[in-house]
Amino acid sequence: MQHRNNNIDAALLGKIMLARFLELPLRAFDRLVTQTESSTGFNALRPWVTVGRLEDAWVAHDADGIPQAKASPILGEIHEAGRNLIFLYHRDGYAREYRFDEEGMNRLMAREETPKDFAWTLRRLRLINTRNRLTHALIQAVLVSQAAYLRSGQALSLIALTQAEISSRLRSESNLSVVADPGRISRLVRGLSIALANGKAVPVNTLFPKSRQVHCHFVDHLIKTEKKFVAEGLIRGPLTDEAIAVILKREHGIRLSRRTVANIRHDLAIPDYKRRSQRTDYLAATEGFSALVPLTAQALRTAVPAHSGVYEIRTPFTFRLSDEEKNWPGKSVPVVPHGVVYIGSAGDLRKRLGDHLRGSSDNTLLYRHVADGAARVRFRLVNEGWRWVERELYRVFCETFGEPPPCNRMSP
């Protein structure tokens, strides 16, 4: 009988450990730093380890002269210092760096009587260094690339910057001891949020928009301001897709075809100019909604309040229904060019959206849409009568698009 060889190459094992370490939620990472520094192994290694801070890194309590805050899901905050931006980390552990007496450490590890937990502690310290160095290099690069957005918080100030592009910059411009490949950056930023200069918390991955996402912001802004243009007599009525393309090219240097504008408009759940000319449409009904945020546990904690209101869930994906789902009233193959798959309301938005995310809301079809992590949500807070607001929003949606959202199994 053959025995399978379960031995893993040391280099491959190291990469797997680093990948998992980069994915740690911020609070879990902070606890790990604290536990490591209070361990027996760390105390034994202190003669060969110097505890310091990353070069040019600042921690918030240093600047404010107050005790450091409790661990939070926010990495730190943007501050303006004259013409420059600086980043203040919220916890010492997020800016921690350990420096080693490598010769002494090698002699210690070469001894036969050295406890095994010494090697494990040393490995953890090096992983903390790697994560913090990569995080710091990434934040410093973003301070330069997205400075306008970090100051204003205005989506129109974002520039297209993919994770692949920032990875290339870090590898060519910095002296990082770790390879900043796109996969590692993706794992790192997945659970990180920062506070902008205006105090608003945003997920770090929103700082790496693709060109399509940037174009969405411009089309959305232009359509939202067309009512002002009409009132001022600058235009006679809602803008056609071709007119939007012309204005974007003339005013912002963005070259989009009419068809691309139409596709973006559908993605944003915005009806065409004929429907927008009607007195009530879905665009008007959702005025005052928040910006779209990822439907993730991290975003729910930082961006969605535990307050009553209405909400809308969007996803970029569509798929065919199962045989059982096809028997639901009014349901067929869900074609959702506008991206809206569900409209709802709740007395506690954060809790209800968390139920959807975990699949515990008894809506199997909706969970299939949100399970892959690509869904987004926007909402409006409503103090009283949020169920009535939901019914009105649902009615206007059906009138605007000719059918209900595919995951609403019945009218509210």
Q: What is the pLDDT of residue 317?
A: 54
Same domain, 71 and 142: yes
Same domain, 31 and 132: yes
Q: Which two tokens stand for residue 353?
A: 């959206």
Same domain, 261 and 323: no
Q: What is the pLDDT of residue 284?
A: 74
Decide if 3 is inside a domain: no
Same domain, 227 and 151: no
Q: What is the pLDDT of residue 7?
A: 62
Same domain, 239 and 299: no
Tell which of 180, 207, 234 closes a domain: 207
Same domain, 199 and 222: no
Number of domains in the chain: 3
Same domain, 117 and 227: no
Same domain, 54 and 103: yes
Decide if 98 is inside a domain: yes
Distance, in Å, from the CA atom of 171 to the CA atom of 138, rounded to the nearest integer, reads 11
Per-residue pLDDT of the chain (412 residues; tens, 9 = 90+): 444 445 667 677 778 888 899 989 888 999 999 999 999 889 888 899 999 999 889 998 765 555 555 666 789 999 988 888 999 999 999 999 999 988 888 888 788 777 777 888 889 999 999 999 999 999 999 999 999 999 998 889 999 999 899 999 888 876 777 888 889 999 998 878 899 988 888 889 889 999 998 999 999 889 888 877 776 777 778 899 999 999 999 999 999 999 999 998 877 777 788 877 765 567 778 888 988 889 998 889 888 998 999 999 998 754 444 444 444 444 443 444 468 899 999 999 999 999 999 988 888 888 888 887 788 999 999 888 888 889 989 988 887 777 888 888 787 7
Distance, in Å, from the CA atom of 89 to the CA atom of 69, rounded to the nearest integer, reads 10
Tell which of 207, 230, 258 closes a domain: 207
Q: What is the pLDDT of residue 329?
A: 41
CATH of residue 353's domain is 3.40.1440.10
Tell which of 207, 229, 254 closes a domain: 207
Distance, in Å, from the CA atom of 205 to the CA atom of 294, rounded to the nearest integer, reads 10
Same domain, 111 and 220: no
Decide if 409 is inside a domain: no
Q: Which domain holds residue 219?
A: 211-277
CA end-to-end span of the chain, whole Å?
A: 62
Beta strands 376-381; 309-314: pairing state: antiparallel
Other residues' Cβ atoms within 10 Å of the Cβ of residue 281: 21
Distance, in Å, from the CA atom of 255 to the CA atom of 250, rounded to the nearest integer, reads 9
Q: Which two tokens stand for residue 98?
A: 């350990």
- Does residue 121 contact residue 42 with C-beta atoms inside 8 Å? yes
Decide if 356 is inside a domain: yes
